[in-house]
Structure 1
Amino acid sequence: MTDYTRILLTARPDKRGIGDYLFTRERVAIPSPAEGEILVKQTHMSLDPAMLGWMSPDTESYIPPVQLGEVMRSSGAGEVVESNHPNFNVGDRVMGMMGWTEYAVSNGKGLNKIQDSISTEMALCIFALPGLTATQGYLNVGKPKAGETLVVTGAASSVGSIVGQMAKADGLRVIGVVGSDEKAKWIVEELGFDGAINYKSDDLADKLAALTPDKIDIFFENTGGPIQQLIYQRMNTHGRIVVCGMIADYLSATPAPGPNWINMIKKRLTIQGFAMPDHFHEVPKLLGQLTPYVMQGKIKYRAHTIEGLDQAVNGLQMLFNGDNQGKMLVKL
């Protein structure tokens, strides 16, 4: 084979949401790496909620948007098939930002080697952005203490599930908000959460009150939506709210209004948003914080893997509809 497929972003999202109209597929010749470069054959591609922001024209976000006509941005993992770089050998498995493409040329910047003892799936589900994001938000922003109560929305997601498991390992009471009974069962029976709320079917106020008798010390916000206000109102004095994502509002023409600030004053709450590009220089530190939980068997994961680059758009639709069961991956 002398050519390969890549997918370009060629339109901005509109009221139609995520769909094929945003992208153009093209076949191009497989490139040869120059001096100091490597050629990577991508084997697994990650689909993440942040992609919608990357597709938007917003120039004030934490990362510049993907320009129209460029390969759609994504992280992934693959194998080095040709190397003119002293630090990478043919056969090395690497992960990093590669895009919606079967092959990628890189100078090695931003790519990390995957240890032989770790599967590619595990690397992307835990040690890539999901685990790094969970670690930064939970430990370094949330500042947890044993005995506290943590509520995490998007609790069955790649980030939310790791946050909850780390908190359980640290002796916190953990309540997860999910979008299906299957996900509720998984986080309680498999991951050890103390309780789950199905935001689509439960009486949110009553269920939240029943599951948080000592109210809430840490709120890890991944989704937004109506339960946000209820969680905010049950925060304890000096509680911390970690704002990681707002997927419920990403496709909304009119985002939901935020909480009133009176409770912030009364309870002396700390509310902090964060984005991982600010912390990429701290990756070694974050991995050092995360790895002990993994080595002690405290972190489980599951991947929802679909086959083929052409299925990337369908996978992204599943992610935003909440139809995925685990970290959304595309196997190439």
Structure 2
Amino acid sequence: MAVYKQLVLKQRPTDGKIGKHLFTLKEQPIPSPGEGEMLIKQTYMSLDPAMLGWMSEDKESYIPPVEIGEVMRSSGVGEVVESNHPDFNVGDKVMGMTGWREYLISDGQGFNKLQPGVTEEMALCVFALPGLTATTGLYNFGEPKAGETLVVTGAAGSVGSIVGQLAKADGLRVIGVVGSDEKADWIVNQLGFDGAINYKKDDLKAKLEELTPDKVDVFFENTGGPIQQLIFNRMNAHGRIVVCGMIADYQAEKPSAGPNWIPLIKKRINIRGFAMPDHWNEIPQLLQKLTPYVQQGKIQYRAHTIEGLENAVDGLNMLFEGKNTGKMLLKL
């Protein structure tokens, strides 16, 4: 009997650290789809910083935690290999919430077919969570206007790189905060950002002042860390701060202190935190907004791909260590 592998959550992280001891690798017989179902062979799986929160027991988060004994949550793409579903045929490439496993049965809910010309990598790097998150945060809450200045942290990451490119396409001055000279070179010379700050080596205050002569109108926050308060203090009146992620604090014993709120009053700054599950119903409109930028060649991306389900934990840790050089994907 043919079998497949899956990783289930065995215990929760107690110190904010991710290790293979948290998971059990199981082999299961490959199932057959029932009436109205299809069997999907997953080909690529997304690895995202939010997974640390999903495996933690946080009942107040925006999405329920993965339960002990359940397959670890993730999005992915795959190919339909058997189908009893009227809307999906064998050979269709599909994208949805797949989990850390090689095969899965689905009734089609939450899965969409990839459009012609869209590869598995492009689907996960652009049209899945990265592009949807960037589009939601920038346009729903950032309210960008041509001629303004936007600063985005995690600018070489999957979300930050798309935020910056969308803003550049709309006529904003875009400055990205990154963690290496290679990433700085990529966002400036390949993606067209107006400047980059390497938070690991630059004089943050001086470099920020140099690159934002008109100060900052939109701050898209993906990481947290020491530069956060400097950007906050550089905001213009009526500026907008979009808080998408705080990866620098996810594994910290004590999160870094936030900015003083007095400037919020004086400058009438709007701060908005958001999470994509609140916006699932907006996906058709978000894709309608994003797709023309992609079709016009205004959105570039790069993937950092590793292989093998057993390496999922190592890949996830690369995100928190800043060792990835693109959207973190796992090829099965």
Q: Deviations over 1:17-75 (max 9, x none)?
A: 11111111010111111111111000000000110110110010000000011000000
Give how far 1:257 is off.
1.6
In the other structure, the counterpart of 1:78 is 78
Change (3 A) 1:227 1:320: same
Query: Would you say 1:331 and 2:323 are equivalent positions?
Result: no
Give how far 1:235 is off.
0.3
State the distance in 1 between where 2:96 and 2:321 align.
26
Change (3 A) 1:299 1:16: closer
Query: Would you say 1:165 and 2:170 are equivalent positions?
Result: no
State the identity as a percent: 73
Matches within 5 A, 1:1-40: 2-15=2-15, 17-40=17-40
Give how far 1:185 is off.
0.5
Give how far 1:116 is off.
2.1
Query: Would you say 1:43 and 2:49 are equivalent positions?
Result: no
Matches within 5 A, 1:90-169: 90-169=90-169
State the distance in 2 between where 1:308 and 1:285 align.
34
- How many correspondences in the alignment? 332
- Equivalent AA in structure 1 for residue 310 of structure 2: D
Q: What TM-score does the superposition give when structure 1 sets the normalisation length?
A: 0.99
State the distance in 2 between where 1:16 and 1:67 align.
17
Give how far 1:139 is off.
1.1
Uncovered stretches (5+) of structure 2, i.e. residues with no partner: none
Q: What TM-score does the superposition give when structure 2 sets the normalisation length?
A: 0.99
In the other structure, the counterpart of 1:317 is 317
In the other structure, the counterpart of 2:212 is 212
Query: Would you say 1:271 and 2:271 are equivalent positions?
Result: yes
Q: Which sits farther off after the overlay, 248-257 or 54-63? A: 248-257
In the other structure, the counterpart of 2:233 is 233
Aligned residues of 2:158 and 2:326 also touching (Cα < 8 A): yes
State the distance in 2 between where 1:318 and 1:221 align.
20
- Equivalent AA in structure 2 for residue 226 of structure 1: P
In the other structure, the counterpart of 1:250 is 250
For the residue of structure 2 that corresponds to 1:39, the secondary structure is: strand
Give how far 1:16 is off.
6.6
State the distance in 1 between where 2:195 and 2:101 align.
40
Q: Deviations over 1:186-211 (max 9, x none)?
A: 00000000000011111111110110
In the other structure, the counterpart of 1:281 is 281
Q: What RMSD in Å do the two structures reach over aligned CA positions? A: 0.8
Which runs of structure 1 show a deviation greater than 6 angstroms over 4 or more consecutive aligned residues?
none
- Equivalent AA in structure 2 for residue 172 of structure 1: L
Q: Which sits farther off after the overlay, 31-40 or 239-248? A: 31-40
